[in-house]
Amino acid sequence: MTFHHIPVLAGPAIEYLAIRPDGVYLDGTLGGGGHASLVLNRLGADGRLFGIDRDEDALAAARARIRDPRFTAIRGNFHDAKPLLAERGADALDGALLDLGVSSYQLDEGARGFSYHDDAPLDMRMDQSQSLTAAEIVNTWPQQEIARILRDYGEENWAAQIARVLCDRRAKAPVDTTLQLVDIIDAAVPKKFRAKDGAHPARRTFQALRIAVNDELAPLDRALEDIASLLKPGGRFCVIAFHSLEDRIVKNAFRRLSDPCTCPRDIPVCVCGKRPAVRVLTRKPVTASREELETNPRARSATLRAVERLEGPWRI
């Protein structure tokens, strides 16, 4: 299958990055290279772009799409951007972009197990060299832990019920495929209580399992701070999120970096010594325009937040 990628919120992202022709940039979630291509279009001969992705299919597609000496593709996780870039002599950035979550290719490639519409092995690994899969979670993790991740990562109101039905089913036979799991969710969630917006009843469970398999949330806050710390004064950092859990982490991280003071509010003079490292550029998250939604419905849940690095030493 061809790695097809329509970059989400591409116009606002490029606008907020304010790309300098001779700058050094990072696309920490390279995917099929959609955003990366747009960044390269605005770079001059001396500009550089680094792209990171843990999915080998994504890297192969990006390398095939982008044949440019200014571009370097790196296999890895953006959580490790700081050491990955240091290995390549890039210790300061003019801008960085993250497009969080699962890619269109991963959703559309049924065999990867991300989609609840196609029958496939319960995989959901972004990095297919790792050992943990969704099948291991649903077949071996304790019922209470499964309920916890469905509640915490999927915000699923029926987490306990789904976990109970799942464990009853797996006691009789392993749950190996996506449609077996969909059938379990269908049995666990009463039809009269399902989302009124027509959302698939398996959506939250699949989101939760994907997040757990790929450890998407726990390292995110630290990764955001690490990448922001690499910015040169005036450098921009844009992050696109696709659900409230991600967006909340991004919002809180940017708020902390822009207002790190820990002094009591009734003290007239700051004594903690912490100074703002960034300026928030998006007081409210940017969302897709009506025109974009008409051509790319998957942008409907996307939100973009951006910050700019301030002058002065990093003192967070």
pLDDT tens, residue by residue, 99-138: 998 876 677 677 899 999 999 999 999 999 999 999 999 9
Instruction: Tell me the pLDDT tens digit for each residue of 176-197.
Output: 999 999 999 999 999 887 766 6
Report whether 244 contacts 207 (CB < 8 A).
no
On average, the pLDDT of the chain sits at: 93
Per-residue DSSP letter, 46: T
- On whether residue 37 sits in a domain, the answer given is yes
What values do phi and psi take at 98, rounded to 5?
-125, 135
In a domain, 124, yes or no: no
Instruction: Give the range among 6-15, 96-105, 160-169, 270-279 with minimum mean pLDDT.
Output: 96-105
Last residue of a domain, one of 180, 214, 248: 214
Residues 195 and 254 in one domain: no
* Integer Cα distance of 81 and 58 in angstroms: 17
Q: Domain limits at 281?
A: 10-101+217-309
What is the arithmetic mean of pLDDT over 280-307? 95
Distance CA 53, CA 72 (A): 11
Strands 303-309 and 231-241, by their bridges, are: antiparallel
- The reported pLDDT for the residue numbered 271 is 86
Using CB atoms within 10 Å of the CB of residue 197, give its burial: 0 to 12 exposed, 13 to 18 middle, 19+ buried.
exposed
Interval 19-35 mean pLDDT = 95
Identify any residues that bridge with 51 across adjacent strands, giving them in sequence order.
27, 73
- Of 167, 186, 214, the last residue of a domain is 214
Number of other CB atoms surrounding residue 314 within 10 Å: 14
Name the domain count of the chain. 2
User: What is the DSSP secondary structure assignment for residue 310, as one 8-state letter?
Assistant: P
**CATH code of the domain covering residue 28:** 3.40.50.150
Find the Cα–Cα–Cα–Cα dihedral 172, 173, 177, 182, rounded to 10°.
-10
